[in-house]
Chain A
């Protein structure tokens, strides 16, 4: 059974650009959550999607957005990139959203903004 796949693994962008990251969950999983990890703030919740609907959103500016497709694959987008957006972006998939089921994490996308 394939795990959670995130693409790309590494990305370098310049300030002001926008970026799209992709997450393919484990087959059959319908919940995808996104997290940002930085040395200063640690791991922080960005948002969660279930059945193409955003169910929860963390305390991030509107430049951070996401969506989920009918096959449960999810993308997150960051517009007008800032240096502080440099981070490891992780996604996790779960079977469901309300049962607090085990989360399976991808390898992450390491974004560097220069």
Chain B
């Protein structure tokens, strides 16, 4: 079993829909990262969480440390949100353990 599990692996949505991507982990962590990767490879850090909830524009990330679970929500989805979303967890160093990613396609 992977230490970081994401679901779903693939997600297709219509423009405007509310999207949720889930991440569960089995190791002790200091922080959880949500990353976005577009075709071509570059990775952008969306959030780093150690507790509670964060919001940037249409993106919301939550984490429940007791349940070892995090969710990434996208409100009013848009085709430009199409990308791979990756959950990664870190301990007291910057060594990250990654989930396998969720491929999101938002159709107009």
Residues of A bordering B, CB below 8 Å: 31, 33, 35, 37, 42-45, 48, 55-56, 58, 88, 90, 92, 94, 97-98, 100-108, 110
Q: Does residue B45 face the partner (Cβ distance < 8 Å to A)?
A: yes
**Number of contacts between A and B (CB, 8 Å)?**
70
Question: Nearest Cβ distance between residue A56 and chain B, in whole angstroms?
Answer: 5
B95 engages A48 (CB within 8 Å): yes
A55 engages B42 (CB within 8 Å): no
Q: How many residues of B contact A (CB 8 A)?
A: 26
A90 engages B96 (CB within 8 Å): no
Q: Does residue B75 face the partner (Cβ distance < 8 Å to A)?
A: no
Question: Nearest Cβ distance between residue A24 and chain B, in whole angstroms?
Answer: 15
Q: What 12 additional pairs, Cβ within 8 angstroms, besides A100-B93, A107-B40?
A: A33-B94, A43-B98, A44-B98, A45-B95, A56-B95, A58-B95, A100-B50, A102-B33, A102-B45, A103-B33, A105-B35, A105-B42
